[in-house]
Amino acid sequence: MPDPAASPSPPTPPTPPIPLAALLADRNLGLRRIAGPPDDGSRVVHWVHTSEMADPYPYLLGGELLLTAGVQLTAAYADDYAARVVEAGAAALGFGVTPVYDTVPRALVEACDRHGLPLLEVPPRTPFTAVARGVWRLMAEARHRELRRVTQAQQGLAAAAARQDPVPAVLHQLAARLGGRAVLFAPDGTELHTTGRAPSPAARTALARLARVVNPAPGAPDIPPKTAPAPSSATDTADGTRLAAYALGGGQGLVLGVAAEGREAGDHTITGVAVVLLSLLTAPHQGAAEAGRSAALVRLLLGASPAEAAPLLGPGPWTVVHARGGDTPFAAGALGMALGSALVETDGAAVRVLTDREVCAQPGWTLGVSGPVGPADLAAADTRAERALRRAEATRAALVQHREAAGTGFTGLLDPEEAASHARARLAPLAGSPDLVETLRAWLSLHGGWDRTAVALTVHRNTVRQRIARCAALLDTDLDDADVRMELWFALRWM
């Protein structure tokens, strides 16, 4: 038999516990408490286990309602049996009368009283499976209440974070949800904000000390010398009050402390949401780059031209990305993070990202990428990224990057102004018909593929045929001629 003192106690099952009183209150089960200490409401059940073993200790995790009919129980062994059940950490013992015993043995009742083990009488009409089912039902109800409470708390905390004074508002909301005290500690341990029900002086002192555990102050006399990284959270109990301290993110040295007399399911989750919100709300102000980008947006909203606002974004070079994909409400933001940018915009069908980093393919996304440009050329880069995305979708590629041909190869031998003038003259019959120009561009880039062009333009293939035929008629040329296609392609690139 293993020595319980030599090995750590195994954890209780990860299920929402239910008060033993709630199980006794179920009239359908008809359970009756006949021994054990008075119920103060703290006794909870984590699990149900049935065993007729003479010694059930090796088979218990702790926190169970152990059910038995006493098949191997004798009056002489009743005291040892109750002691072993208590040693195993069971929450209570349920004894089923009949068919082995007509009544609960008196020796067992007295043993449970001596060892402080709640003893429940299970009537003959209630099978053990009904007791187990009752426990599972109460656990499901407890889980539902917990989820509803957490959801309501999250909504309240989010609304508080949107207020004009978000930090005190979030602390007040947290204290109200926990029914206790919420304190924001400065790096030196002083209380910056505090709200809620005041704890006892002893608990308040203990909470301040706990805050220094997660953020030790240099030279603090009551904190041991730092030999390892400080924990991100710590808990304690003082004067009957449960205490917890959490280090906020952002490297500011701030600590959230909470104190509450009781503890309910979901408290840790609710506090975790508050920690995240407070970490964001107390984070350092935006740096110069972010400030410049915000200034660019403000300038645009106040009527400045894009050319005037673009330099505030920074020298770049900048790359515009058009993307489709992602199947969650936060997919656009996640893509922006993956591409190293917070400059993200979406219209529900496509996502646009402006980034100053190199772009690579992203799982689950189809990307069209412009070439790197300066701030003044962002509008043109946006158009190129859109075309690249269409080509990526048509060719089923994960990423297509626009390649700027001007200034390289044969085009580098041409005078830009003369080339642009020739392009305007060559494509003059299509002026005023942007759909025809874009269809011709896509069709040529996809080597005359009707279906792929239709996919790229999100139109029917017959529409593509009709537009290309119209282009051929207006340009009075044979689009099946390779030389004509090459000439038109260069004209479109220079246009």
CB 160 within 8 A of CB 173: yes
Question: How do 44-45 and 47-50 pair as beta strands?
Answer: unpaired
Q: What are phi and psi of 177, to 5 degrees?
A: -70, -35
Name the nearest CA neighbour of 355 among 334, 366, 370, 365: 370
Could you give the 3-state DSSP secondary structure of residue 205?
helix
What is the identity of the amino acid at 202?
A
In 64-188, beta strands by DSSP E: 64-68, 92-96, 119-122, 181-185
Output b/e per residue, 339-374; b: 16+ Cβ within 10 A: bebebbebeeebbbbbbbeebeebeebbbbbbbbbe
- How far is residue 300 CA from its own chain's centroid? 33
Edge-to-edge strands of the sheet including 399-401?
A: 344-346, 351-355, 319-325, 365-369, 399-401
First to last CA, the chain: 88
- pLDDT value at position 92? 97
Count of other CB atoms within 10 angstroms of residue 381: 24
Q: What per-residue confidence (pLDDT) applies to 392?
A: 84
Confidence (pLDDT) at 123: 96
Q: For 239-395, list the strands marked E by DSSP.
A: 241-247, 255-260, 319-325, 344-346, 351-355, 365-369
Selection from 386, 321, 382 nearest residue 356 by Cα = 321
Closest to 181 (Cα-Cα) out of 214, 152, 210:
210
pLDDT score, position 478: 81
pLDDT value of residue 406? 45
What pLDDT is recorded for position 311? 72
Question: Which of 63, 68, 105, 69 minimizes the C-alpha distance to 88?
Answer: 63
pLDDT tens, residue order, the chain (495 aa): 344 444 444 444 456 889 999 999 999 999 999 999 988 888 999 999 999 999 999 999 999 999 999 999 999 999 999 999 999 999 999 999 988 999 999 999 999 999 999 999 999 999 999 999 999 999 998 888 888 988 999 999 988 888 777 888 999 999 999 999 999 998 888 898 899 998 899 999 999 999 999 887 554 445 455 455 678 888 999 988 999 999 987 667 899 999 998 777 788 889 989 998 888 887 755 555 666 667 777 777 777 777 777 777 776 788 899 998 866 555 777 787 778 777 888 876 788 888 888 888 888 889 999 988 887 788 888 888 888 888 888 778 888 888 755 444 455 445 566 667 766 777 787 777 888 888 888 887 888 788 888 888 888 888 888 888 888 888 788 877 777 777 777 777 766
Tell me the CB-side half-sphere exposure of residue 311, using CA atoms within 13 A: 4
What 8-state DSSP symbol labels residue 74?
-
DSSP 8-state symbol, 326: -
